[in-house]
Amino acid sequence: MSDRAYLSTRKGLFELSRSGERWELGASHFLGEPVSFTLADPRDGALYAALNLGHFGVKLHRKDAGSEVWTEIAAPAYPPKPEDSADKVEWTNKLIWAMAAGGPDQPGLLWAGTLPGGLFRSRDRGASWELLRSLWDVPQRAEWFGGGYDVPGIHSICVDPRDSRRVLVAVSCGGVWRTEDGGDSWTVSSSGMRADYMPPELNENEAVQDPHRVARCDGSPDALWCQHHNGMWRSANGGKRWDEIKGAPLSSFGFAVAAHPSDPDTAWFAPAEADQRRIPVGAALAVTRTKDGGKSFTALRAGLPQEHCYDLVYRHGLAVADDGRTLLMASTSGGVWLSGNAGDSWQTVSTTMPPVYAACFASAK
Amino acid sequence: MARLIFTQQLARFTTLPQVETGAAQLRAGLDSAFAINPTLRGYVLDEQGHLRANVAIFIDGRRCTDHTRLDDPLLPGSMVYIMQALSGG
């Protein structure tokens, strides 16, 4: 059972710890600094904090298990941009948007997804990074564009627990991509998705899709869930084909999705009213849960604010622990809620935190 | 010798060297500081070697407007202030 969680916020990294049935805020780190993402590496217990300093750029720090000391390590950096490059994108790291640990057979291997769309790999716990040119150089990258930011970015990195060479990433806005060979080659993998924000002839272009978030069921890794700009999708075959989930209650718009760690049919979403009105439906916060692969949903509200609530749960703002029952949800208005019963009811941890970019649990392993 | 003075806002992240340099241009002057503390480079310049958008450099009271070449001349006795621009938040 996980007893620790982390909030990456606009004004620091905050710890949450379990105290009996309750969860409480604990220590803070980098207070005042924007922390865009935190990775708790289940393999060695190290904690990685990605900072996005307004003046001084993207930084990365690591705290080893059992240590109280943060050490600044290398941040992913783009190679020199060729002078004759026609690429309109600046080759500079604007944000570490996501990180993921490699498989248990890859000690020290880390992945990092960034704005403006580069995927990086470290083989030495962040001492050095390499840009995966195999993805950066795909011709379709010229079609990618920003979603919520001026430039595209990689926000979801799903390593297949069965085979660490199989990795799937999602790009806003550039579709879903997967590799079967450890990153040597990549295939766009958004078949079935639809982009209504594009002209009709481009609706089904796989490389312009905006998957807001993709989450994989670790215990059944062919099951993937996607909260997309245009709705909700699920794949039953590792992302080769995506099927739209229709008829979800409240709204099909949102950013976050969390996949149950072992049950491929269970997932949670945090719906918002619509693209043009990014607030909870009816200003009443709810999480929707399916237990049957998206055929039906239950709206879960107990303990969540139901009046004048304008909290938006961003793409990394909803997390589920290894037990499949403990959920953490945090908003861009600084609301933080925990559930110990798979979302049936929620405990308010705080309503006054800084805007939360990402929430995660430390692995209980 | 030109003197480089880094904003104390950077002191919470890394060590700030005291630098006096005979460099004739800004980039070479900055390089002399980065040679003492290589970590400082990534706080002032991006990975393409350009001055970060929200870092401001003043030489003898004049703000450097070119963020790419960094070839502003330094004179013996120049005072170079590396500051955070308020545009960065």
A57: which 2 tokens?
A: 């750029």
* CB burial of residue A9 (10 Å; 0-12, 13-18, 19+): buried
Q: Among residues 64-83 of chain B, which lie with CB inside 8 Å of chain A? A: none
Q: Which residue has the tokens 């904003």?
A: B7
pLDDT band of A20, cuts 50, 70, 90: confident
Whether the pLDDT of residue A113 is over 90: the answer is yes
| CB–CB contact A90 B10 (8 Å) | no
Q: Of A362, A321, A357, which Cα lies nearest the Cα of A336?
A: A357
What single string gives the DSSP state of each residue in B16-78? ---EEE--SBHHHHHHHHHHH-THHHHHHB-TTSPBPTTEEEEETTEE---SSS---B--TT-
pLDDT given at position A263: 98
What single string gives the DSSP state of each residue in A128-171? --EE-HHHHT-GGGGG---SSSSS-EEEEEEE-TT-TT-EEEEE
Whether the pLDDT of residue A4 is over 90: the answer is yes
pLDDT given at position A364: 66
pLDDT given at position A365: 53
pLDDT given at position B86: 87
Using alpha carbons only, give the angle A149, A150, A153 rounded to the nearest 5 degrees. Answer: 60
Which residues does chain B have within 8 Å of residue A79's beta carbon, measured at their own beta carbons? Answer: 47
State the number of CA atoms in the 13 A half-sphere of A160 facing the CB: 19
Out of B10, B47, B88, whose CB is closest to A78?
A: B47
CA distance B47 to chain A (A): 6
Topology given in CATH for the domain delimited by B2-88: Ubiquitin-like (UB roll) (3.10.20)
pLDDT digits (tens, 9 = 90+) for B41-56: 999 999 999 999 999 9
> What is the ipTM for the molecules in this complex?
0.92
Whether the pLDDT of residue A51 is over 80: the answer is yes
Whether the pLDDT of residue A168 is over 90: the answer is yes
What single string gives the DSSP state of each residue in A62-101? EE-TT---EEEEPPP-PPPPPTT----S--S--EEEEEEE
Which residues does chain B have within 8 Å of residue A81's beta carbon, measured at their own beta carbons? Answer: 48
pLDDT given at position A22: 93
pLDDT given at position B89: 65
Q: Does B35 touch chain A (CB under 8 A)?
A: no
Q: Does B15 touch chain A (CB under 8 A)?
A: no
Over residues A68-81, mean pLDDT: 97
Over residues A261-268, mean pLDDT: 98
pLDDT band of A169, cuts 50, 70, 90: very high
Over residues A161-188, mean pLDDT: 98
Mean pLDDT of chain A, nearest integer? 97
Q: Does B85 touch chain A (CB under 8 A)?
A: yes
| Inter-residue contact A63 to A46 (CB < 8 Å) | yes
The three-class DSSP label of residue A258 is strand
**Interatomic CA distance for residues B3 and B23, integer angstroms:** 10
Q: Which residue has the tokens 């627990």?
A: A161
Mean pLDDT of chain B, nearest integer? 95
pLDDT band of A21, cuts 50, 70, 90: confident
| Amino acid of residue B37 | N
Which residues does chain B have within 8 Å of residue A354's beta carbon, measured at their own beta carbons? Answer: none
Q: Of A116, A118, A128, A106, which Cα lies nearest the Cα of A60?
A: A128
| CB–CB contact A54 B54 (8 Å) | yes
Q: Does A78 touch chain B (CB under 8 A)?
A: yes
Over residues A118-134, mean pLDDT: 98
